Chains A and B, each alone.
Chain A
């Protein structure tokens, strides 16, 4: 049971480039989330999904887009990367208020 898997684990982008982060979960969870983690700011919710085909904005959605075409996958896209998007990105999934399961993170640097 792999849980929540994020790819890639590391990436360096130039300003203006685009990329997609993939999150896959094998626990049949309805809810999926993308967070970014920055020093001193904890985890901030970027976007989330309450089920296949649905997405919604979190606290810091600007500059990001998401898609959930399949229940097990949640994609986070950066159309035009900016240095302010340098961060560690975490994907999580859950089936209820009980708990959220996290991936190992993607460390993104935008230069």
Chain B
């Protein structure tokens, strides 16, 4: 069954520094993979998604993620953190029944 694991429940970066949030997936077939962002007291918003094709996926707000089959990873990056990026980030994947399963989340803090 598909699942995702997020490494690091809390990540702190300085404003302007690289953001790297880690997600590894477990699947016997190439998966669909998603990153969602949750701002305080809000629902989840889609940042980006990988389905098929290009392994480097660009999303909103300058985020991107690379699907690496050899490493079973789908890490989220942003070259330069902004204060507004402070939020909780979730990696997710659907199973064959279209049920979406989420990682435990990574809380990003941006230090001025």
Contacts and interface: CB of A to CB of B under 8 A. Distances in A.
B98 A31 contact: yes
Interface residues of A, number: 25
Interface in B61-112: 90, 92, 94, 97-105
A33 B49 contact: no
A90 B101 CA distance: 13
A94 B44 contact: no
Given A35-B102, A42-B103, 19 more contacts: A31-B98, A33-B99, A40-B104, A41-B104, A42-B102, A42-B104, A42-B105, A58-B99, A92-B100, A94-B100, A97-B32, A99-B46, A99-B49, A100-B46, A102-B36, A103-B43, A104-B43, A105-B41, A105-B42
Interface of B: 6, 9, 32, 34, 36, 41-46, 49, 51, 90, 92, 94, 97-105
Specify the main secondary structure of chain A where it touches its partner: strand
A-B pairs, 6 with minimum CB distance: A102-B43, A42-B104, A43-B102, A102-B44, A42-B102, A104-B43
